[in-house]
Homo-oligomer: A and B are copies of this chain.
Amino acid sequence: MNDKKYHHGNLKQCLIEAGIDLLNEEGENHFSLRKVAALCDVSNAAPYSHFKNKEDLLEAMKKYVTEQFSQQLYNAIQGESVEDPNTIVKMGKSYILFFINHPQYFEFLFSRPCIRVNLNMNDDGKSNFPPFELLKELHFKVLSKCGFSDEKIKDMIISSWATVHGLAAIATMEGVIYDESWENKIEAIISNKEKN
């Protein structure tokens, strides 16, 4: 009465999603390829048909989570005007909130080696981190309308990113309790940064 098929059919995606479940339940320390395989009801070595090694699966998982992150940033500014500088604040708050809602993801996403960014923002050597591209594009759209030079905007992007990223880092540290006072704090800090 074993209806288990020899071929899983959708193992690659199953491994990625089961991997993320395991990550959320046990943390990256207790994450193991064999456990993920077991969750998908396949043998220990089965993942090697789809991923080069453990690191390769972890990177696929990071891509998956990064996609969710990008989606949230994108949604945060839907319907907002690029004429309004406050739209940047909206995306910044969304950036921080993503990690407040998924604290485990902060360390996971930003643990090396994964993210490559091109802070010079020229064409050669693009970033492999779409959320940064979203942040970048929005800044150029909004701030060029405000009359800032490209060079100035580049600096402001780094400043903005550092601020929201740093706030996310702090907010997700152990012992930090996120309450309604954070909302105002975040709003104030990002907005202040804005008016340069």
Interface residues of A (CB under 8 A from B): 107, 110-119, 125, 127, 155, 158-159, 161-167, 169-170, 173-176, 185, 188-189, 192-193, 196
For A193, the closest partner residue in chain B by CB is B193
Contact check, A112 vs B189: say whether CB atoms are below 8 A apart.
no
Q: List 30 A-B contacts (CB under 8 A).
A: A107-B107, A107-B110, A107-B112, A110-B173, A111-B111, A112-B174, A113-B174, A115-B173, A116-B174, A117-B173, A117-B174, A117-B175, A119-B170, A119-B176, A125-B175, A155-B185, A155-B188, A158-B167, A158-B185, A158-B189, A159-B189, A161-B166, A162-B166, A162-B167, A162-B189, A163-B166, A165-B169, A166-B169, A169-B169, A192-B196
A27 to nearest B CB, angstroms?
8
Number of copies of this chain in the oligomer? 2
A112 to nearest B CB, angstroms?
6
